[in-house]
Amino acid sequence: MSLKLTDAETDALAELFNVGLHRAAASLSEVTGQRIIVDMPKLVICEISEIEQRLADLVGGEIATVHQMFGGSVAGDAVLLLEQDKAAALARLMTGGEAATGGRLDQSAREVLTEIGNIVLGACLSGFGDMLQLPVSFSVPRIHIESLRTILGSLLVETGETQYAVIVATQFRLAALAVDGYLIIALGAKSLGRISDALRSRIP
């Protein structure tokens, strides 16, 4: 089964992620006491085998990822990707220099990044789930430090249906730091089809 969202559906989905990211930024600002701004996300939908080709020029080396599985009428895997050095700088800035000392992603930094991922992924997934009336449940988030290829390999699962990826690119900005962030939502054709149907019903 091959699926392609229309331009109008893709734009509507990008706007739903935009709402979710702004909710996440507001929550992170409240938690940290620092003003956090997110840029309007750019969204691409592709078959899951194309992710590495699309991201290879944008992220490299070791990457910090927060991975969360979700289920319900729409099911799949959600991953927040941050380059390791920027992830360390973000954790350090958000803890007043207490985490990621020396640029290392120590246990404190990993806990901070896991909470950031939990807030960002939760806001985006529950946000579009609520607005599209597609309830979603979540697993406990897990953090990994690994290469892009290893991360993507963990998303390639043989299920008998075409697997897709929604790639959402944005930038988190606070104080003197700008951090590129990438969300990958990996899901099967049936789940993407349900999202497409729900989006179509919202478009005038």
Domain extents in the chain: 7-202
Helix H or strand E encompassing 76? strand 76-83
Architecture of domain 7-202: 3-Layer(aba) Sandwich (3.40)
Rg (CA), the chain: 16
pTM of the model: 0.89
Cα distance between residue 165 and residue 52, in whole Å: 11
pLDDT digits over 20-33, tens only?
Answer: 999 999 998 888 78
pLDDT score at 22: 94
User: Which stretches within the chain are classed as H helix?
Assistant: 7-32, 51-55, 84-94, 107-131, 148-155, 189-202
HSE-CB of 12 using CA atoms within 13 angstroms: 18
**Neighbour-count burial of 203, counting CB atoms closer than 10 A to its CB (0-12 exposed, 13-18 middle, 19+ buried):** exposed
Cα distance between residue 82 and residue 101, in whole Å: 18
pLDDT score at 108: 87
- pLDDT < 50 regions, the chain: 1
Per the structure block, which two tokens stand in for 45?
Answer: 């939908």
Distance of CA 148 to the CA centre of its chain: 14
pLDDT score at 1: 46
